[in-house]
Structure 1
Amino acid sequence: MASTSVSRIVPASPQRVWSLIGGFDALPDWLPYIPVSTALEGGRIRRLTDPDGAVIVERLLAFSEAERHYSYAILEAPFPVTGYVATLRVHPVAGRDDVAEVQWSGRFTPDGVTDAEVEELFTGIYRDGLDALHQALSV
């Protein structure tokens, strides 16, 4: 099993960050490469569409408003992995009310590729996503 984790300090309070990213169906609000998200099964499933029309279907596995995190699994996607589970989490930064740390981590089993190849793929996705979040919060 392969894994990766990326974190980034962003220019907003933990509550403001969570208000933007904490909804399982909220990716289009801050992630430009996911312009469409459709909530299914009462919000427990999200059907994402990227700008090229590729579809990713994910299931919410765990959610904590109080701890500001959620975990999800990929049910369908054009990625060369199985058993994908990821967590998006917002942490406070000690002594600071105006910034937060956001961590996006995942574990998965490569399918037809090496651990290093899928770790690089998802590290790039998470890094680019957190860069987009930083930009959205800087406006």
Structure 2
Amino acid sequence: MPRSYASAVLTSTADEVWSYVRDFGNLAEWMPGVQTGVIEDGGPGDRVGCVRRLIDPGDSVFRERLAGLDEAGRGYWYDILECPLPVRGARGHLRVSPVTATGQAFVEWWGEFSADAADEEAMTKTLAQGIYATGLDALAKRFS
């Protein structure tokens, strides 16, 4: 199963970054390329099982279900239910850890997925660079 990965060090503390990104429903506030994002049932974005609907400027829809939330470990994981990309069985993870020497935050975003062999390399790069790294760059700017 292919794995895409990106990480960044942010100048804020891990607690500050986690208190912001732990809201599964606020991705449209900070992620470039997400035009709108809502929790489908209107409830809070920190409930395991909630589904967020994301729409990009081209009206492509992504639906993702929060599968787990680890407060102590400052992380969550989610399953991709609907996606215009040629991936299947995709699961994403986001984790925030302290950099103990500096007090900064180390943020990791990664995912595993299945795809046809012809799509694996392109999707690995698209997820790592086009989604995860782009999002982490935006978070770094937000917390600088």
Taking the TM superposition and a 5 Å limit, the aligned residue runs for 1:1-139 are 1-41=1-41, 42=43, 43=45, 44-97=50-103, 99-111=104-116, 113-124=118-129, 125-138=131-144
Alpha-carbon RMSD across the aligned residues, in angstroms, is: 1.4
For the residue of structure 2 that corresponds to 1:78, the secondary structure is coil
Q: Taking structure 2 as the reference length, what is the TM-score of the superposition?
A: 0.89
Q: Taking structure 1 as the reference length, what is the TM-score of the superposition?
A: 0.91
CA contact (8 A) 2:32 2:134 kept: no
Deviation at 1:32, TM superposition (A): 2.4
For the residue of structure 1 that corresponds to 2:6, the secondary structure is strand
Q: Higher strand proportion, which one? A: 1
Count of aligned pairs between the two proteins: 137
Deviation at 1:112, TM superposition (A): 6.4
Amino acid paired to 1:5:
Y
Q: Structure 1: which 5+ residue stretches go unaligned?
A: none
Instruction: State the distance in 1 between where 2:15 and 2:101 align.
Output: 15
